[in-house]
Amino acid sequence: MNGLSARRDAIKAITEYKTLYAPLDFSETSPTEVFGCNVFNDCVMRDRLPKNVYKSLKKTIELGEKLDASVADIVANAMKDWAIEKGATHFTHVFYPLTGLTAEKHDSFLVPDGKGSAIAEFSGKMLIQGEPDASSFPSGGLRATFEARGYTAWDVTSPAYILENPNGTFLCIPTAFVSWTGEALDKKTPLLRSMQALNKQAKRVLKIFGVETKLPVICYAGPEQEYFLIDRNFVFARPDLLIAGRTLFGAKPPKGQEFEDQYFGVIPRRVLSFMMEVDRELFKLGVPVKTRHNEVAPSQFEIAPIYEQGNLATDHNQLIMTVLRSVAKRYGMVCLLHEKPFAGINGSGKHLNYSIGNDEVGCLFDPGDTPHENAQFLVFCAAAIRALHKYGPLLRATVASASNDHRLGANEAPPAIMSVYLGEQLTDVFGQIKKGEVKGSKKKGVMNIGIDTLPPLPLDPGDRNRTSPFAFTGNRFEFRAVGSSMSIAGSQVALNTMMAESLDYVATELEKATAGKPDKLNAAVQGLLQKIMLEHDAVVFNGDGYSEEWHKEAARRGLANLKTTPEALSQLSAPSTIDLFTKYGVLTEAELRSREEIYLEQYCKSIETEANLMVRIATTIIFPAAFRYQNELAQACANLKAIGKEYGTTTLDQLTTNLRAMQKVTYELQTLVEGGKGDSAHTQATFYCNTILPAMREVRKHADLLETIIADDLWVLPSYMEMLFIR
Ligand code: ADP
Ligand code: MG
C-alpha cells in the first residue's frame, strides 16, 4: 500500500465506518444499569455472599486486614457462578509486568469429570494464586530460568471483572506478580507496599493533630490520558507507525497549516462515535470516566476518569489504554499512545493527579475550613515540598523511557527538572512561615497570629501553571511528566514512599516537641514548617518552567536536570534511593537493581528497533522513490537539452546531493548499530543515547528534506498533513 491509496482508503473509511454495537438508548437502559454491570463489585458481593463471608471480605478490602483463607473458597464459588451467568468460560489472573503492559493467561473453568463430561470448577486456591510461567517476563536477574515459576496473588482491593469479546466473555482477576521467593516482578506489588508505608506514617502525623481513623490512609490518583487517533490505512502504509508507534520520518507541513485547535474544536463524527463506545465499554467495567475532549494537536484527544484509590486507578488506567486501543480498531483507526508520534507536533502525556487521605479524614491536601485543619494541611503540604526536594530525581526516574525522552524538556511538556508550583497565595503563606512571621493569608491583611488561627485558605484551583512538573491545584498535586503509554504505578510508588519518609520526619519532630506538652503543638508546628521551608524551598518555582532562565536558575539552586533516560535511571540504584525503599519495605536493593537493569534494557531495545527500522525504510522505501524521481528529472533535463532549452538543474542537484548524503549517514547508522555497544546495560544505554540517536536524527534530516522535493505520487509514505488532518 502506498500513500496515494492509503489516502483514498482513509477518506473512504471516514464515511463508511460502522458501529459494531447499536448505540445504547438511555431512555430505555438507565446509565446506572450499565455502570459496573461487568464488575464483581460491592453490590454483587452483598447479594451473593453469606453475610459473615461478605463482612470478612469487606474487612480485608477496606481495612487491609489479612484475608481469612476459609473465605476464599466461598468467594471463588460465588464469583464463578456470577461469571458463568455472564457467559464466561475462562478466567485469568491479570498482572502488570515491568514491561508496563497488562498480561493475562486464560484457564478454562471446565475440568473433565472422568465420565466423559466436564464440570465447572474454581476453588479458593485458584482464585488466590496462579502460576504463570514467568520466564518470558523481564526479571532483571532476580530469577534464573530454571526457577521460571512466578506466581500471581489475588489483589482483593481491586475487584474482578468480565471482559467481553464477540465470541464470548472471560473473568479477569487483578493480581500481584512475584517470584517464588517473593520478589516483586511487577508494578502492583511495590504500589501496595508503598501504600502501607504511607498509611503508617500519615497516621502518626494525624494522631498528633488528634485525628484517629480506622481506615487506612491511602493515595488517590486521577490520571488524565492523552492519545492520538490515526486512520489505520495510514498506519498500514507506515512501517514506523506500525512497528515503533511513532513516525521516524516526516516533513513538517508547510507553514500556514494551522495546528490551532479552535479550527477543529468540534469532535469529528467518527471520533465521537469512538469516544461514546469507549465510554460505554469503560462504564461496564466500572471505570468512572468523566471527561473527553480535543487536545492541542490535531487528531489528539484526552480522556479522564474521576479519581479513585491509587491501586484501583492504576488498574483502571491500564483498562482505559486497552479499551482505547481495541475500540479504535472497530472504527478503522489506530490509537497511538506513544509519547511523541509526530516530531514537531505536541506529544502525549498523562497527568497524574495525586493526593492522600481516606473517607474518614477526607483529602489531606485540602486546606479545609477551620484554622486547625489549615495547620494540618500546611504540614502535609510542607512534607510534600520536602519530599520533592529530597527525592525529585527519583521521581524523574519513574518516568524515564526512550519515548518519553522525546517529550520531557521539549517546549510542550514540563522539563526534566523537578520543581513544585504552589501558586501565589500558598507561596505567600509559606514565605511568611519561612521568615517566622505568620500574618495570614495575603488578601486578608496583616494579622499577627499563630498558625492555629490562620484564616481559611480559599485556594483558587483555577490558578494554573502548565509548565510545572508538579503543580498544586487546590486539593492535589498534578504530576505532569508521566508518559502517555506508561503505567502510573511507578510514580505513585515513588510519591508514596517519599511522602512516607517526609511524614516520618515530621511525626518524629512533632512527637519530640510535644511529648507531655500538647499545648506546645502550635509553636512546634510553626518551628517545623519554618525549618522545612528554610531547607527545602529551593524546589518551589512558580515561573515558566520551559524558559532558558529557569534551567540556569535551577542549576544555581542545585536542582538536578536529568535530561535523558540513562542519566535518570541511575537514580534507581543511588544510595539514597536504596536507603529510602529498604527502610520503608517497598523495594529491596536487589529489586531496585533489577528494575534499573530491565528499564535500561528496554531503552536499548526500543532504540535499536527504531534504528533498524529506519535503515530498512530508508533503503526500501525512500531511496527507491528518490532514484525514480532522479530518473524522471534527469530525463526531463535531457529532453530540454535536446531541444536547446536547458535552464539548469537545481532540483536535480538538490535531490542528488541530499540523496547521497542520506545514503552515507544511513550506512553509518547501520554500521553503528551492528558494531560494539559496550557490555554493561548502562554503557549500552549511553551508547544508544549519545551515538545512535544523533545518527538517527541525521538520517531523518535528509529524508525530511527529500520529502519536500520528491513528487507526491512517488513519495509512498503518508505525510503528516494527511495523517493528522484526514479523520
Ligand atoms: P484539568 O484538565 O483541569 O487538570 P480534569 O478534570 O481534566 O482537570 O482532570 C482532573 C483530574 O484530577 C480528574 O481525574 C479528577 O478526578 C482528579 N482529581 C480531582 N481531585 C483530586 C484529588 N483530590 N486527588 C486526586 N485526583 C483528583
Ligand atoms: Mg486536563
DSSP result, 567-616:
HHHGGGGSHHHHHHHHHTTS--HHHHHHHHHHHHHHHHHHHHHHHHHHHH
Instruction: Report which protein residue has its CA nearest ligand 1's atom 3.
Output: 462
* pLDDT bracket for residue 91 (50, 70, 90): very high
Place of cell 506513544: 338
DSSP H or E segment with residue 528: helix 521-536
pLDDT score recorded for residue 445: 36
Closest ligand to residue 305's CA: 1
- With cut-offs at 50, 70 and 90, classify the pLDDT of residue 232: very high
Q: Give residue 439's pLDDT.
A: 59
Mean pLDDT of 346-358: 96
Q: What is the pLDDT of residue 105?
A: 85
- From 219, 348, 353, 479, mutation site for ligand 1 pocket: most ligand atoms within 8 A of C-beta: 353
Residue 30: exposure state from Cβ atoms within 10 A (0-12, 13-18, ≥19): exposed
pLDDT in tens, 576-592: 999 999 999 999 999 99
**How many angstroms is it from 352 CA to the middle of ligand 2?**
10
Please report the domains of the chain, with CATH numbers, ordered by start residue: 35-186 (3.10.20.70)
State residue 463's pLDDT score: 55
Least confident of 28-42, 476-490, 697-711: 28-42
Taking residues 559-572, what's their average pLDDT? 96
Q: pTM score, two decimals?
A: 0.94
**Helix-, strand-, coil-residue percentages of the chain, each rounded to 5:** 50, 15, 35
Q: Distance (Å, rounded) from C-alpha 468 to C-alpha 415?
A: 8
Using a CB cutoff of 8 Å and minimum separation of 24, what contacts does 276-282 make?
A: 276/23, 277/19, 277/20, 277/21, 277/327, 277/330, 277/331, 278/303, 278/323, 278/324, 278/327, 280/21, 280/24, 280/34, 281/323, 281/327, 282/319, 282/320, 282/323
Q: Give residue 228's pLDDT.
A: 97
**224 CA distance to ligand 2 middle (Å):** 6
For β-strands 88-94 and 168-179, DSSP reports them as: parallel
Task: Assign 328 to helix, strand or coil.
Answer: helix
Q: Which protein residues touch ligand 1 with a CB less than 6 Å away?
A: 220, 222, 224, 291, 304-307, 353-355, 363, 475-476
Q: Distance, CA 213 to ligand 2 centroid (Å)? A: 32
State which ligand 1 atom lies nearest to the alpha carbon of 475.
23
Distance 631 CA to ligand 1 centre (A): 57
User: Which residue among 227, 295, 307 is best mutated to probe the pocket of ligand 1, counting the most ligand atoms within 8 A of its Cβ?
Assistant: 307
pLDDT band at 409 (very low <50, low <70, confident <90, very high): confident
Q: Average pLDDT for residues 626-652, to the nearest whole number?
A: 89
pLDDT at 151 over 90: no
Tell which one of 460, 466, 476 to mutate to probe ligand 1, the residue whose CB is within 8 A of the most ligand atoms: 476
